[in-house]
Homo-oligomer: A and B are copies of this chain.
Amino acid sequence: MPRTIAFLLFDGAEELDFAGPWEVFTMVNELRPGEARCYTAAETPAPVTCAKGLRVLPDCTFTEAPPADLVIIPGGIGTRRERDNPALRAVIERLRAGGAALASVCTGALVLERMGLLDGRRAITHRVGIPILNKNPQITVIESARYLDEGDIVTAAGVSAGIDMALYLVRRFWGPGLADEVRQAMEYYPEPWEAAPSSDAAARRSSP
């Protein structure tokens, strides 16, 4: 079933927070043309300057944003300002009223928190946002979670967790077979994490 995914951008949005899920969902559309229509939206048509300086031109403005099945809300330092931006809140409320599920990555959860949308739910965010969510007694913060699916609201941990959340949502929307195809197309077989590997270990990994 074709789905539309809206990526909401703003100055100070963290690059990988949206670029990771963007890669996942646009890969769905490459593998199954027409199945996942992805667009970026921002408050104005001007270029967005992301948290680390990448400049992105949005496809449309918040007021032009077409109905969506899923809305990706990235984190980044800009969320501290954007959580009180009526234009961002309005587009989230409008798309949600039209049936969209909301999915935050990283400190994007702070926007949902300020809107009251995490009250009575489990949630996760980047480690820097956890003390903020913990101040709200209505939220059950699950610090060990990579992402949490509460049905119409999904939250992910920091930055790269958006990739895992997006792959999970591909499983939820289209099934595990397509999620595996996307993972293979992205060659997403990350190295296992090792704390402070020696340079010998690094050299070994770069060898066959």
- Is B52 within 8 A of A55, CB to CB? no
- Is B55 within 8 A of A26, CB to CB? no
- Is B202 within 8 A of A172, CB to CB? yes
Name the prevailing secondary structure of the A interface residues.
mixed
- Nearest B-chain residue to A167, judged by Cβ: B191
Determine whether A177 belongs to the interface, using a CB cutoff of 8 Å to chain B. Answer: yes
- Nearest B-chain residue to A144, judged by Cβ: B208
- Chain B contacts for A40, CB-based, 8 A: 54-55
Measured between C-beta atoms, what is the minimum distance from A185 to chain B in Å?
A: 7
Determine whether A121 belongs to the interface, using a CB cutoff of 8 Å to chain B. Answer: no
Q: Among B16, B38, B52, B202, which residue has its beta carbon within 8 angstroms of that of A38?
A: B52
In the bound assembly, the distance between CA atoms of A20 and B146 in angstroms comes to: 18
Which residues of chain A (20-72) have a CB below 8 Å from chain B? Answer: 20, 22-23, 26-27, 29-30, 38, 40, 47, 52-57, 59
Q: Among B47, B176, B197, which residue has its beta carbon within 8 angstroms of that of A199?
A: B176
Decide: A171 near B206, CB < 8 A? Known: A176-B197, A191-B164.
Answer: no
- Is B168 within 8 A of A52, CB to CB? no
Determine whether A148 belongs to the interface, using a CB cutoff of 8 Å to chain B. Answer: yes
In the bound assembly, the distance between CA atoms of A102 and B145 in angstroms comes to: 37
Measured between C-beta atoms, what is the minimum distance from A75 to chain B in Å?
A: 10
- Nearest B-chain residue to A181, judged by Cβ: B196
For A163-197 the 0/1 string (1 means CB < 8 A from B) is 11001100110001101100101111111110111
- Is B145 within 8 A of A206, CB to CB? yes
- Chain B contacts for A188, CB-based, 8 A: 159-160, 190, 193
In the bound assembly, the distance between CA atoms of A185 and B15 in angstroms comes to: 13
- Is B38 within 8 A of A23, CB to CB? no
What are the 8 closest A-B residue pairs judged by CB atoms, nearest first? Answer: A158-B187, A26-B52, A19-B19, A16-B23, A55-B57, A190-B190, A176-B196, A159-B186
Can you name 28 A-B pairs with beta carbons within 8 Å? A14-B23, A16-B19, A16-B20, A16-B22, A19-B20, A23-B159, A54-B56, A55-B59, A56-B56, A56-B57, A122-B208, A145-B208, A148-B206, A148-B207, A157-B187, A158-B185, A159-B186, A160-B163, A160-B186, A160-B189, A167-B191, A168-B205, A172-B199, A176-B196, A176-B198, A176-B202, A188-B190, A189-B193
